Amino acid sequence: MTIEFDFEVDATGLQCPLPLLRLKKAIMEIDSGKVVKIIATDPAAHLDFGVYINQAGHTALKSFKEAEKHIFYIQKK
């Protein structure tokens, strides 16, 4: 299943809180309904992203692990 996205953020090698800050910046730069793909290697990124997405009302479309990378697709509310 391929998910179309509008903006990609590569946060590989970055530790908390940098992946979350990069995600927030990307979300601010796109329009409502658009999708951000973010790639992270921080093992806690999914926790930070989950809390942020729930609090801000965005939608987590899909997330999965590929090798050492966690890939997330998040749609802006």
Catalytic positions: 16
Residue carrying the six token digits 């800050």 = 21
Q: Determine the Cα–Cα distance for residues 31 and 75; give it in Å rounded to an integer.
A: 10
Instruction: Give Cβ neighbours of residue 55 (< 8 Å, ≥ 6 apart).
Output: none
